[in-house]
Amino acid sequence: MKPILLIHGYSSDGNKNTDQRIRQIYGGLPELLKDIYGEANVEAIDLSRWISLDDGVSLDDIARAMDRALKSDEYEHLLQSGFHVVIHSTGALVTRKWIHHYSPMPSPIDSVIHLAGANFGSGLAHIGRGTMARWKRQIFDGTDVGKKVLQSLEFGCQETIDLHLSLSQPGNDILKDFGVKEYCVVGSQVPKLMRKLPNRYVKEDNSDCTVRASTSNLNFNFVILEPTAKAESLTAAEVKKWNKRRNSNKTIDDELYEITGESFPEDEDRNVVPFGIAYETAHIGKDLSIVDGRTTRDEMREFFEMIPLYPDAELTPDQYHEVVEQFTAKTARTYEQAAQLPKEKDWNKQEQYEAHAMVIFRIFDRDGKRIRDYDIYFKSTDRRSGKIKLESLIEDNHYNKSDYTRSYYLRVQQFDGESWNNLLDNIGDMELEVTALEPDSDEISYVPLSKKLPATYAQKIIRPFQTTIVDVVLERLPSKNVFRIIQH
């Protein structure tokens, strides 16, 4: 069997001035892997340690350092023999960056098993960059907070989104071109000690106290909206009129923008990644940790036993899809068990499992530049009795000040005491509205967007346990004063 490389997450390196024991990082995970796959079959387990708490070190630096380590005399055999990777949390981005920037095709990495991979970020990232977090690290740990790493972990990070989009493109696809098989497992519970903390991101529903299920899942959706020829032909006066109507909450032209691109995991040129939610499992904690929890060992064993890592098992697409189905069935069993959890006085475990979705908006102009000043509205237009307004499902709205992106977190499932109901099944039709402003000039206007979204389309692009990226390209028009031709 090929060697297994373990890659840890953010802050697991601890105090960089001490020699923290590997046992503290990985716990009993190496022994569990040997027990599952057979010690004779596990040729070697290489335990990595990388620095995440230095403010000047970026994920690109770490991926480059990983490449240098792999090319060293001591570990060059991994590149020659091939190897598997088991990651925790931020280790997902380190590994995917190495594949994207340095791996040959096919890659020496055969499989990547994501344990709560922070693929689309963590709510704790922007909090970790705060003043109090910095003081705590410097006073008690003697470290920085890892500012550049945390920037890559913030919701809506452009660099991270572009990484995932690139690895899903034909010619650069992580499975079809690099030959890397990925598997995602995440929990949806919170350790008791963290439930009383005054921070929503350590106790969010459908998260493991650090990573949302939807941000761990690599099965993401992608939609692009761009201006039509009608928007390009507008005069400055007409744009002013449409903006005035939009600001007065009046209907504007629906034909100024169109959906020009879509990408979904089940598309022919994409790959559905096995994704599962582990029962009563959290990101960290002596009992619930996905890496080494005392009560989660058997749960994680079930997932690992579904993943074929043996040397002669070259998985066909059909066999890989069988693992997708096995993970889905295991998640269904998780929810059957979760429905039976006893009620607690101050904690609703069923709500903790209710599926959520995340939607990330990136707003660009026609030149590909990011727009900073904009507003986004979901406006339900379906007045039929019993229809749910999509905007009523939004529980968190995060603006990434570094990359000018906006991320919405929606509760899309509800437990009725017996079963889990998909709230998206009952949403009504709506309109998506986007307006923008050029704060430094009155001579530049953005054509406002108003796009009708039938409920069926919203249900297509917003899905339980998944992240959806929506790129909006707004038409940017100069007034006639910007350039005049005067005939004498």
Give the start-to-end residue ranges of the domains of the chain: 4-219+266-338, 221-259+354-478
Q: Would you call 11 helix, strand, or coil by DSSP?
A: coil
The H or E element that residue 298 is part of is helix 297-306
Tell me which residue of 155, 35, 106, 91 sits closest to 397, measured CA to CA: 155
Residue 341: Cβ within 10 Å count: 15
- What pTM does this model have? 0.92
**What CATH architecture does domain 4-219+266-338 belong to?**
3-Layer(aba) Sandwich (3.40)
The CATH code belonging to domain 221-259+354-478 is: 2.60.40
Distance CA 444, CA 371 (A): 13
| Positive/negative CA dihedral, 360, 365, 366, 369 | negative
Angle at 470 between CA 468 and CA 474, to 5 degrees: 175
Q: What is the DSSP letter of 433?
A: E
In single-letter form, the type of residue at position 309 comes to L
Structure tokens at 411: 């509760």
pLDDT at 244: 85
Q: Where are the strands (E) in 256-355, listed by range?
A: 257-263, 275-278
Render each residue's pLDDT in the chain as its tens digit; 488 residues.
788 999 888 765 544 444 455 667 788 888 999 999 887 766 666 666 656 567 888 899 999 989 999 999 988 989 998 999 999 999 999 999 999 999 999 999 999 999 999 999 999 987 644 433 333 333 234 344 678 889 999 999 999 999 999 999 999 999 999 999 999 999 999 999 888 888 899 999 999 999 999 999 999 999 999 999 999 999 888 888 888 888 888 888 889 999 999 999 999 999 999 999 999 999 999 999 999 999 999 999 999 999 988 665 577 888 899 999 999 999 999 999 999 999 888 888 999 999 999 999 999 999 999 999 999 999 998 888 889 999 999 999 999 999 999 999 999 999 999 899 999 999 999 999 999 999 999 889 999 999 999 999 999 999 999 999 999 999 999 988 888 888 88
pLDDT at 311: 60
Residue 353: Cβ within 10 Å count: 24
Distance CA 479, CA 387 (A): 42
Distance CA 250, CA 75 (A): 64
